[in-house]
Amino acid sequence: MVVGRRHARSAGAFFVTARFLPYGRQWIDEADIAAVEQVLRGDWLTQGPSVGWFERAFAEKVGARHAIACANATAALHLCMLALNLEPDDAVVVPSVTFLATANAVRYVGAQVAFADVDPQSGLMRRQDAEDAIRRAEARGWRVRAVIPVHLAGQTADMAGLSALARERALSIVEDAAHAVGTHLTGPDGQKVAVGACDRSDLACFSFHPVKTMATGEGGMVTTNDDALARRIRVAVSHGMTRDPAEFSDTLAATAASGQPNPWYYEMGEIGLNYRMTDLQAALGLSQLSKLDAFVRARQTLVDAYDMALAPLAPVLRPAAKVPGVSAGWHLYVALIDFAALGLDRAAVMGRLRQDGVGSQVHYIPVHTQPYYRRLYGDLTLPGAQSWYHHCLSLPLYPAMSMTDHDRVVATLTRLIKG
């Protein structure tokens, strides 16, 4: 799958430049294409059986009781906020280093965002960061109801500390695991537990965007072990409709003369959304899920190679800190660069990389600095988030990368830093 290939002529010679390496991209093979083609040739492009098959396979893969597929990870987060019945003076703790969707989902239901700082070396929220955010929220008169740990780059936030805090304060935990498909934590008994098993949380949300560990085009998933939360989310994902006779309130309208439920009948007890996943996406997801372990291994191999090859570039460039006890399904490889010591700003570094066909990205601009949130809550000082933002740069990482591609990224960075 060669992309970005360009042809040029120089001194009468015809040559092909190296392909452009984006910071992330999907891996699609013939099995994936065949899976989608089978749906295209069938009867159900949406609202068919493939979504249920994908949900059951994903739940089994991560070890959760329930998995509910939806349109994307933003939808997954929104559905979770709805399921928690948040009210306007309720607050949810969200680390500032995340994508906009994590905080926005809280605002979609009218609740308040209590922004937390992060470890400047890993970008991850710690227990102390959440506690500080809770104190600030309570000083505003908010009632903190939940915490959303964000598993940045594929590594997990401090789930032991955060789950203990949640138990002490009767808080819900919703994992933003958009980056962590395929990540495992080592549990107290030494056994590996998949992110999504919800052993230390109420809910977990995943993304299947093309740059993530596995892809469905767009798409998301919520996992939980709570039957009531699963039911609320499953109803909300499709307009709030239910066809379950046990849940009908108007039994006269629902029932035929025979005593059986009318076959067309449904009820909407609560307003919902159209956040359904299509069968096309689910078919691709099932095929991708069968390769997830291989995708994770390929990413880990590249991360290990980066760590070794970039070590001589310290202290100007250092990899983001690794979290003990986490076997990451790496979504991103983040380098922390001292741009001042290098004598080049980040835009210049990204430009030089691009000239050599190497893509890069910044994950993320701290959400608390966005104009909307500054107008809403005023200025907030979160030094860990600001330090992370000022130094971070995501390098190419995806299963289709070859070691030759990896070596090109390293060589370009080495020329930039060593001269």
- Residue intervals in the chain for CATH 3.40.640.10: 51-279
3-state secondary structure 142-197: CEEEEECCECCECECCCHHHHHHHHHHHCCEEEEECCCCCCCEEECCCCCEEECCC
- Residue intervals in the chain for CATH 3.90.1150.10: 7-26+292-418
Say what the pLDDT of residue 1 is: 35
Range of weakest confidence among 9-18, 36-45, 157-166, 242-251: 9-18
Say what the pLDDT of residue 18 is: 67
Instruction: Say if residue 23's pLDDT is above 90.
Output: yes
Instruction: Say if residue 205's pLDDT is above 90.
Output: yes
How far, in Å, CA of 232 to CA of 24, rounded? 34
> Is-catalytic flag, 212?
yes
Q: What count of other Cβ atoms lies within 10 Å of the Cβ of residue 41?
A: 7
Q: What's the angle, vertex CA 145, arms to CA 144 and CA 151, rounded to 5? A: 100
Which of 61, 192, 212, 291 is flagged as catalytic? 212
The mean per-residue pLDDT over the stretch 257-282 comes to: 94
Share of the chain above pLDDT 70, in %: 96
Evaluated on CA atoms 314, 184, 154, 200, the torsion sign reads negative
Architecture of domain 51-279: 3-Layer(aba) Sandwich (3.40)
Instruction: Say if residue 313's pLDDT is above 60.
Output: yes
Q: Which CATH number fits domain 7-26+292-418: 3.30.420.40, 3.90.1150.10, 3.30.1490.20, 3.40.190.10?
A: 3.90.1150.10
